């Protein structure tokens, strides 16, 4: 009896101490990893504030005073970055808006209606989702060439209206949160189909729509592969293509302050938006995705 009691007490103390030790270890590791994640962006920020001559002196951890100067130099430089920013923004906004709205509508149609071929359509869309864009890009380039959409941003926006991954997410979300009785009630009250969708379904889907709008926006903003193959004119290029141009230029001739400023310019807006919306984004990754 006594021995048994002793061992349980000892065992409790042991787990108490080990929990404490494990907690310390995990905090240390987490802080190290967070440092590893943030370090690059910190250096980027510091270097974007330093002039070319300061940069050539070696690394320093303290920001300098040339932030605005680097920015004006970059803005007046050879790369059309303001154009690039506007192109990126327009394409990303339109892509995000169209992809989420139409995908939600299609998901709703599959969720709320019964029609012939519904199952087939669902499987078909999922199959399309599995095909990576890179694999079909050759045919895509020929297709838009025939349609006269080569070198036209519309070639990037219009296909995005049909976005199977967004559709799938919306469908998963509806399965768990949108009761069909609500749709039926609206129907009985005489609400038209469009009105039901826009005024009842969309507000209920808000969290899913927000998450997918953010993800579509970021995907489009960061996309380099397809835009680089579609857009040829300097005035039509998006930011990632300009970054690639910066890389392929004889970069030693560059003012390094400007190079860092250019990178910061394409990275920091996303970071700021992310920090504002991070709650939705981190929570949204698993919201309608895989279930464990």
Partner 1 sequence: MGLHILNSIYCNLLIFQLVPLATTIYNSFFENYRSGLTQIGPNFVGLQNYGTIISNGDLPTYFINTMIMWLMGFIPQILLSLLLGAWFTDPSLRLKCQTFFKTVIYLPNLIMASAFAMLFFTLFSDSGPINSMLMQMGVFKSAYQFMSHVWTVRTLVATMNCLMWFGNTTILLMAGMLGIDPSLFEAAQVDGATSTQIFYKITLPLLRPILIFVMITSLIGGLQMFDVPQILTNGTGDPMRSSMTLIMYLNKHLFSKNYGLAGALSVFLFVITGILSLIVFKFTNSDKVK
Is residue 21 a contact point for partner 1 (CB under 8 A)? no
- Please say which residue, 173 or 260, places its beta carbon nearer to partner 1: 260
From the CB of 215, what's the least distance to partner 1, in Å? 9
280 vs 283: CA distance, rounded Å: 5
CA nearest neighbour of 160 among 113, 229, 85, 227? 227
- Please say which residue, 65 or 142, places its beta carbon nearer to partner 1: 142
**Rg, Å, the chain Cα set:** 26
Place of tokens 């857009």: 231
Q: With the CA atoms of 140, 142, 144 and 150 taken in that order, what torsion angle do they form, in degrees rounded to the nearest 10? A: 110
- Please say which residue, 167 or 236, places its beta carbon nearer to partner 1: 167
- Please say which residue, 108 or 173, places its beta carbon nearer to partner 1: 108
Q: With the CA atoms of 183, 185, 187 and 192 taken in that order, what torsion angle do they form, in degrees rounded to the nearest 10? A: -70
Which position among 10, 23, 176, 187 is part of the footprint of partner 1 (CB under 8 A)? 23
Which residues ranging from 223 to 242 are in contact with partner 1 (CB under 8 A)? Answer: 224-225, 229, 239-240
127 vs 122: CA distance, rounded Å: 9
Q: Which stretch binds partner 1 (CB under 8 A): 68-76, 135-143, 178-186, 203-211?
A: 135-143
Is residue 43 a contact point for partner 1 (CB under 8 A)? yes
Which position among 13, 136, 176, 199 is part of the footprint of partner 1 (CB under 8 A)? 136
Which residues ranging from 158 to 217 are in contact with partner 1 (CB under 8 A)? Answer: 158-159, 161-162, 164, 193-194, 197
From the CB of 270, what's the least distance to partner 1, in Å? 6
From the CB of 80, what's the least distance to partner 1, in Å? 17
Which residues ranging from 94 to 123 are in contact with partner 1 (CB under 8 A)? Answer: 102, 105-106, 108-109, 113, 115, 121
- Please say which residue, 202 or 218, places its beta carbon nearer to partner 1: 218
Q: Which stretch binds partner 1 (CB under 8 A): 24-32, 64-72, 76-84, 89-97?
A: 24-32
Which position among 27, 65, 177, 233 is part of the footprint of partner 1 (CB under 8 A)? 27
CA nearest neighbour of 237 among 246, 227, 247? 227
Which residues ranging from 251 to 270 are in contact with partner 1 (CB under 8 A)? Answer: 256, 259-260, 263, 266-267, 270
From the CB of 68, what's the least distance to partner 1, in Å? 21
């Amino acid at each position: 009896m006594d021995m048994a009691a002793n061992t349980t007490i000892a065992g409790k103390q042991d787990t108490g101490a080990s929990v404490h030790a494990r907690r310390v270890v995990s905090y240390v590791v987490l802080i190290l990893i967070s440092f590893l994640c943030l370090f690059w962006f910190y250096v980027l920020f510091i270097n974007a504030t330093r002039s070319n001559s300061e940069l050539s002196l070696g690394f320093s951890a303290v920001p300098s005073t040339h932030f605005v100067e680097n920015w004006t130099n970059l803005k007046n430089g050879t790369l059309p970055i303001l154009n690039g920013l506007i192109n990126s923004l327009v394409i990303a906004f339109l892509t995000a808006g169209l992809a989420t709205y139409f995908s939600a509508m299609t998901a709703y149609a599959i969720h709320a209606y019964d029609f012939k071929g519904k199952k087939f359509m669902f499987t078909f869309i999922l199959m399309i989702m599995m095909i990576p864009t890179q694999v079909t890009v050759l045919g895509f380039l020929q297709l838009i060439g025939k349609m006269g959409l080569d070198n036209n941003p519309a070639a990037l926006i219009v296909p995005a209206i049909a976005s199977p991954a967004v559709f799938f997410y919306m469908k998963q979300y509806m399965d768990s949160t949108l009761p069909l009785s609500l749709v039926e009630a609206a129907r009985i009250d005489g609400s038209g189909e469009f009105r039901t969708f826009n005024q009842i379904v969309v507000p209920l889907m808000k969290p899913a729509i927000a998450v997918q709008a953010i993800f579509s926006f970021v995907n489009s903003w960061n996309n380099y592969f397809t835009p680089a193959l579609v857009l040829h004119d300097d005035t039509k290029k998006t930011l990632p293509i300009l970054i690639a141009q910066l890389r392929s230029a004889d970069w030693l001739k560059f003012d390094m302050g400007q190079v860092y400023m250019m990178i910061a310019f394409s990275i920091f807006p996303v970071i700021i938006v992310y920090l504002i919306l991070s709650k939705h984004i981190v929570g949204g990754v698993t919201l309608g995705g895989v279930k464990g």
